[in-house]
Structure 1
Amino acid sequence: MTPETVIDILREALWMIVLLASLIIGPGLVIGLVVSTFQAATQINEQTLSFLPRLLITLITIIVAGPWMLTQLMDHAERLISSVPYLIG
């Protein structure tokens, strides 16, 4: 196995992590910004007001995008496992 192969495998794995994490975290960040703007405009300083919408949006995102994310992870693992004989030999 060459160093270039290891770097390619690591690059693909890190890209998968960034893609899946941003898909989960992104909507929560947007909702958090909207709620924070609302709180600043109305001067409401309630911590649960910002926490609950972010939690719900994150859960909904996982429910909606979960099958696609699982498919992506399984495809990546399948490609990696099927390429083991080529990587060793």
Structure 2
Amino acid sequence: MPTTSTSPAGDPLSALSYEEARDELIRVVTELEQGATTLEESIALWERGEALARHCEEWLIGAKARLDAARAGGGTAQSSGTPQTSGAFDGE
């Protein structure tokens, strides 16, 4: 399921690379840890962080699925650069 939140620049969250989403998530967590925001701002940051974390997880699941397919000799790994949501992440 694609993530439909938007980045601060107004771009769809799905357009962010893993690294961009991870870096923004780090910024969000840092801002929340500082505690200098209002309750409303904190809630919005928390929601953004949750969406970013889901997006990163989708990228990691897709990367694992592609690695598993390559290891299994399933032909060419998918190289579209978009997150794949099939499979489960088992921490290998």
Q: TM-score range by the shorter chain?
A: 0.3 to 0.5
- Using the size of structure 2 for normalisation, the TM-score is 0.36
Greater share of helix: 1
